[in-house]
Amino acid sequence: MLSPSTTPVRQSSVRAHNLALVLHTVANGANHPSRAAIAAATGLTRATVSALVDDLVAGGLLVEVDPPPRTGAGRPAAGLALTSTGPAGLGCEINVDYLAACVVDLTGAVRQRFAEHADQRPADPAHALAALGRLAARARLAAEADGLIVAGAALAVPGLVGDGGLVRVAPNLGWQDVDAVAALRAVPELADLPITVDNEANLAALGELRVSGGDPAFLYVSGEVGIGAGLVIGGELYRGVRGWSGEIGHVTVYPDGRECRCGSRGCLEQYAGQEALADDVPRAAAALGIALSAVVNLLDVPVIVLGGAYAPIFAALRDGIETELRRRVLTAGLAPVTLRPAALGADAAMRGAADTIIRGVREDPAAWLRARA
């Protein structure tokens, strides 16, 4: 069955779906599958796959490459691969001490990367975003000189993002109601791009999803100055109704505990934020364990990935967290919760941002072909 929705479906939707299916199979399947292998993997006929592949090759999304090693008799296959000269995503990140932009191609490879280290807190938002825009523009031009076509840009910010890319609050940057999309679009070299803005932890979770490959459901916890989380379920990011999910840093751990900047008491951030972390690792681990137990009890998430400042000290945190999980997760006895460090380092959010763009092309190649026609 197709997804329940309120829009009609016609033959062109079938084509769009199956184009995405073929592209997905090439991207996530074995090395350089043949048309016949794609047909076998998807259940489509070889005739249909051939027609779909023709469209994707003509549209510059797939290329024929050397076939996989032969096995037995028969006409040799033509291998298919994602192109490395087609659409690409521009990922940007602004953080407390860090500006960065990168370009990722359809295969997921990072083709350009520019970063600038500097404390952004004294700068006003307009200046910081202008500097980031210049960085992004350089990345875009360098990528396009390489034959890539930047299909869009996404920006990761450590804060709450509202509709239209409006940054409602970014406490650690001192921002409030900043129109980041407009600021980036003001850079001439970026003016023609679709630009989106999203929370840093959400995008880092997507970055982790891309590189880790395996887990279709996990919680990514990002320990920075603040603590954010990105929830991936069924291979997709869950953003919440208004896009404000994942604020694990302000989950109450000790109801009458330390005062928090947010006005509450006993927030996780006060015990496991970057500052508290320096003081008392065991207590941070316990606090994390308590908050994560709540997540697992509520959402039944089987895997937790620790990123940001937590990744390098994963070994020191592990025991303390797991002790609390064992004690406090109701289903701990039925199935364990897996804890692991993040695979990507500081670039996770930026990589995830770029990934949202290429993800868009991969999930709806028909739209890309139409636009390129």
Looking at residues 161 to 190 of the shown chain, list those that interact with a copy of itself (rule: CB under 8 A).
162, 168-169
Shortest distance, position 245 Cβ to a copy of itself, whole Å: 4
Candidates 46, 134, 265, 372; binder of DNA (CB under 7 A) is 46
Shortest distance, position 349 Cβ to DNA, whole Å: 36
Stretch that binds DNA, among 41-49, 130-138, 171-179, 306-314 (CB under 7 A): 41-49
Q: What is the DSSP letter of 188?
A: G
Shortest distance, position 107 Cβ to DNA, whole Å: 20
Q: Among DNA, a copy of itself, none, what does residue 134 contact (CB within 5–8 Å per kind)?
A: none
Question: Residue 124 contacts by C-beta under 8 Å, 6 or more apart in sequence?
Answer: none
Report how far residue 178's alpha carbon sits from residue 169's, in angstroms, rounded to the nearest whole number.
Answer: 8
Shortest distance, position 371 Cβ to DNA, whole Å: 16
- Structural contact between residues 20 and 366, judged by C-beta atoms closer than 8 angstroms: yes
Shortest distance, position 115 Cβ to a copy of itself, whole Å: 29
Q: Among DNA, a copy of itself, none, what does residue 3 contact (CB within 5–8 Å per kind)?
A: a copy of itself
Candidates 254, 283, 313, 314; binder of a copy of itself (CB under 8 A) is 254
Q: Among a copy of itself, DNA, none, what does residue 54 contact (CB within 5–8 Å per kind)?
A: DNA
Candidates 3, 5, 6, 11; binder of DNA (CB under 7 A) is 11
Instruction: Give one DSSP letter per residue of 196-246, joined into a string.
Output: EEEEHHHHHHHHHHHHH-S-SSEEEEEESSSEEEEEEETTEEE--SSS---
Tokens for 200, please give them. 């840093």
Burial 165-193 (b: 16+ CB within 10 A, else e): bebbbbbbbebeebbbbebbbebebbeeb
Site for a copy of itself in 16-45 (CB under 8 A): 16-18, 20-21, 24, 42-44
Candidates 69, 74, 188, 255; binder of a copy of itself (CB under 8 A) is 255
Stretch that binds DNA, among 4-12, 158-166, 178-186, 295-303 (CB under 7 A): 4-12
Total Cβ atoms within 10 A of residue 213: 10
5 or 71: CB nearest a copy of itself: 5
Q: What is the DSSP letter of 263?
A: S
> If you search the block for the tokens 């359809």, which residue do you land on?
106
Tokens for 214, please give them. 């395996």
Residues in contact with DNA, shown as a per-residue x/- string from 53 to 72 under the rule CB under 7 A: xx------------x--x-x
156 or 231: CB nearest a copy of itself: 231
77 or 332: CB nearest DNA: 77
Site for a copy of itself in 335-354 (CB under 8 A): 335
Shortest distance, position 47 Cβ to DNA, whole Å: 3
State how beta strands 218-223 and 303-308 pair: parallel
Stretch that binds DNA, among 35-43, 81-89, 260-268, 271-279 (CB under 7 A): 35-43
Q: Is 47 in the site for DNA (CB under 7 A)?
A: yes
Q: Is 96 in the site for a copy of itself (CB under 8 A)?
A: no
Q: Contacts for 182-187 with beta carbons within 8 Å, 24 or more apart?
A: 183/125, 183/126, 183/129, 183/130, 183/133, 184/92, 184/129, 184/132, 184/133, 184/136, 184/153, 184/155, 186/130, 186/133, 187/130, 187/133, 187/134, 187/136, 187/137
